[in-house]
Amino acid sequence: MTYCVALKLKDGLVLTSDSRTNAGVDHIASFRKLHVQEVPGERVIFLQSAGNLATTQSVITVLQHQIKSAERHILNVPSLYDVAELVGKTIREIITRDSGQNQGVDFGCNMLVSGQIKGDEPRLFHVYPQGNFIEACEDTPYFQIGESKYGKPILDRIINFSTPLNRALQCSLISMDSTLRSNLSVGLPLDVIEYYNDALQSPGIRRIDEHDENFIKLRRAWSDGMRELFDGIPLMMEE
């Protein structure tokens, strides 16, 4: 299992993904779940994945091969909608190809597709294993995939479309920290991107590990603040 969250806000995009892959207690490893494809100055596309590792790696590989060999690929279609459509089609084809080989194995995967193409605003899509997808909007400015339940409450309470990117990044990291504390199938290091509108190129993936001082301070401040707030709540009167 893994956990990825993507936020599409007024000022741009915030993306956070863990890197743990768990195939049992004896098979825990790290694999990047956040990928970038771009034509600087023209378009930048971000892909986050959760689900069957073989499926997600095959999807990423096929999309990369299409850039070199196919007439229509994610770096030349006219809109992010078309990118999401291509990703969904590829997911569906890979699952169909592989699902008949081993009964009882879940080959499904979910992907978050985001980015910006010149002349359009940044967009964010959640692509499902069936290949269909939905788009984020002002009323629903974020998507989660993977082990999402532990990190959802903080996002629901804090995030809205106007949240500044630096505060949204803090919130996404607290959401991730809540998940790290509650589920061993999600783990460090984390990959993070903070993308501002109309940059039209990747700012680079920031990797956060257990030694990152800023992340350590953030998770300590959140933990201490929650404890202090709880201790300050008046006790309920006994009947």
Q: What is the predicted pLDDT for the residue at 31? A: 87
pLDDT above 80 for 152: yes
Give the mean model confidence (pLDDT) for residues 77-84.
98
> How much is the pLDDT for 99?
83
**How is domain 3-231 classified at the architecture level of CATH?**
4-Layer Sandwich (3.60)
The rounded Cα 14 to chain-centroid distance in angstroms is 9
* Cβ contacts of 40 within 8 Å, gap of 6 or more: 200, 201
Work out the average pLDDT over 8-13: 98
- Whole-angstrom Cα distance, residue 53 to residue 63? 15
The pTM score is 0.95
- In the chain, what are the domain boundaries? 3-231
The pLDDT score that the predictor gives to residue 27 is 54
* Interacting residues of 91 by C-beta distance below 8 A, sequence separation 6+: 55, 59, 109, 111, 127, 129, 131
Place of tokens 């993977």: 146
d(CA 84, CA 88): 6
pLDDT of residue 220: 96
218 band by pLDDT with thresholds 50, 70 and 90: very high
Average pLDDT over the chain, rounded to an integer: 93
Q: Above 60 in pLDDT, residue 23?
A: no
Q: Using pLDDT thresholds of 50, 70 and 90, give the confidence band for residue 154.
A: very high
Q: Residue 34: which of 43, 45, 42, 25 has the closest Cα?
A: 45
Please give the pLDDT value at position 28. Answer: 59
Q: What SS3 string covers 138-204?
A: CCCCEEEEECCCCCHHHHHHHCCCCCCHHHHHHHHHHHHHHHHHHCCCCCCCEEEEEEECCCCCCCC
**Per-residue model confidence (pLDDT) at position 237:** 66
The pLDDT, as a whole number, for residue 29 is 67
pLDDT at 100: 75
The DSSP output letter for 105 is -
pLDDT digits (tens, 9 = 90+) for 44-64: 999 999 999 999 999 999 999
Torsion of CA 9, 136, 202, 116, to 10 degrees: -100
| pLDDT confidence of residue 171 | 98
